[in-house]
Amino acid sequence: PAIQWSVDQMVHRAINEWGPGADKLRCNDLHSTQDDIAGKIENLKSVLQTCRDMQQTASSIVFGAGFSATVRQMSDAPVDCIKSAKGNCERLNCHTNDVALQDAIRDLEG
């Protein structure tokens, strides 16, 4: 669940902070550490690709094994995984079809 929580946190920031504020973010130059738009885009895409890679690996080596829908280390914070009928997580949700996330990435790249 901690991996899903990390993915969810980055997606949440992209949708709710970075994307809507993209026009106010400043690019870096060689001597500053401004908002680092390129770094945000690179990190976000890297996390999403790693999620998809882990999802693929998990589906090829374990069948039917799930994980908790909450993160105990984060006071049982819920995660946005792909759930079974019983409510447990079946797979990682890499937010592949999340339109709001795609819009946020487009805003950042704009």
pLDDT value of residue 67: 86
Q: Which amino acid, residue 88?
A: N
For residue 88, the model assigns a pLDDT of 87
**Residue 33 clears pLDDT 70, i.e. is over it:** no
* pTM of the model as a whole: 0.82
36 phi, psi to nearest 5 deg:
55, 60
The Cα–Cα gap between 60 and 44 comes to: 25
Least confident of 66-70, 79-83, 95-99: 66-70
Q: Which residue in the block uniquely carries the two structure tokens 């882990």?
A: 54
Residue 4 has pLDDT above 80, yes or no: yes
Both tokens assigned to 20: 């809507």
pLDDT value of position 10:
96
pLDDT at 106: 95
Tokens of 93: 């949700």
